[in-house]
Amino acid sequence: MKRILVTGGSGFLGSHLCEKLLAEGNEVLCVDNLFTGRKVNIQHLLQMDNFEFHRHDITFPLYVEVDEIYNLACPASPIHYQFDPVQTIKTSVMGSINMLGLAKRLKVKILQASTSEIYGDPEIHPQPESYRGCVNTTGIRACYDEGKRCAETLFFDYHRQHQVAIKVMRIFNTYGPRMHPNDGRVVSNFIVQALRGKDITIFGTGQQTRSFCYVDDLIDGMYKLMNSRDDFQGPVNIGNPCEFTMLELAELIIDLTGSSSRLIFLPLPQDDPLQRKPQIDLAQKELGWEPKIQLAEGLTKTINYFEKTLTKQGVAITV
């Protein structure tokens, strides 16, 4: 049994990771400041003897004894990371320094949950790990994009200078149960609007593309990366290479929900990428990983989750 620290552990991805680690027989220390994470995501874990929750902001040092660290702490949706951009970049930079310092002191392995956003609005499609990105360093998304890019730099410098054992994964669009209903991400937005019979808002022409990975597949890739061979640090793309336009996504969600929602079009936000698709050859080669769950199957599970969540909240469901 390992004692494993998961920062951002009560968030969407973090809570699923905690479940996975517990299922593998580990002891889990879940750390979260609950800025975007929610205690309801881990409520079912709180009574377990090998699970512990600690409310803490990783921009401040953390003194614990653990065997491994997964660093997932950081608001990840534009509506949340743009709410307090200074705190967002502090979480990525100062939080990484604190967690790397902890890993250095304890001589333990640490995984960084990086992001496809480090590629910015890419000029290469699909995006391989060797692509250095096209990022606006002064734009409204830069607090997240540049914060995550700096975090990657810190991880590799701690590895080179202090021999810290690191793993770096670049997460592409992920969806599934426990997404926040108001996080502003396209999947949650479309599903909630469809279930309520509201207009579905599409930015731009709807021809911009994303690649959607179901959360179970993503967590499987994260776990495999942490347990990969010692001399493989990454970075490695983890995401689903099946590409969909926003129009295709909206029409599929309308079909799956049976909604009467109409599509309306709004101006494209600043620096919103037009294409996003991972090249996953490296993950296939090094981790033996590729996604298994198709979009319609994953969306059905996600729709069922949101239907139950909105009903509990007293929100009227019209489908």
The CA distance from 225 to 60, in Å, is: 27
The CA distance from 228 to 222, in Å, is: 10
Which ranges of the chain would DSSP assign to H, the alpha helix?
A: 12-23, 78-81, 85-106, 142-162, 186-195, 215-226, 246-257, 281-287, 295-312
Give every CB contact of residue 25 below 8 A, 6+ residues apart in sequence: 1
- Report the number of secondary-structure helices (H) and strands (E) in the chain: 9, 13
Q: Which of 91, 69, 93, 96 is nearest to 80 (CA)?
A: 91
| Positive or negative torsion for Cα 96, 99, 103, 108 | negative
Q: Which of 103, 24, 105, 16 is nearest to 68 (CA)?
A: 103
The CA distance from 47 to 201, in Å, is: 40
The CA distance from 137 to 21, in Å, is: 36
Tokens describing residue 135: 């990022």
DSSP state of 116: G
Environment class of 26 (CB within 10 Å of its CB; exposed 0-12, middle 13-18, buried 19+) = middle
Question: Helix (H, G, I), strand (E, B), or coil: what is residue 114?
Answer: strand
Give every CB contact of residue 316 below 8 A, 6+ residues apart in sequence: 196
> What are the φ/ψ torsions at residue 288 (nearest 5 degrees)?
60, 35
Known catalytic residues? 144
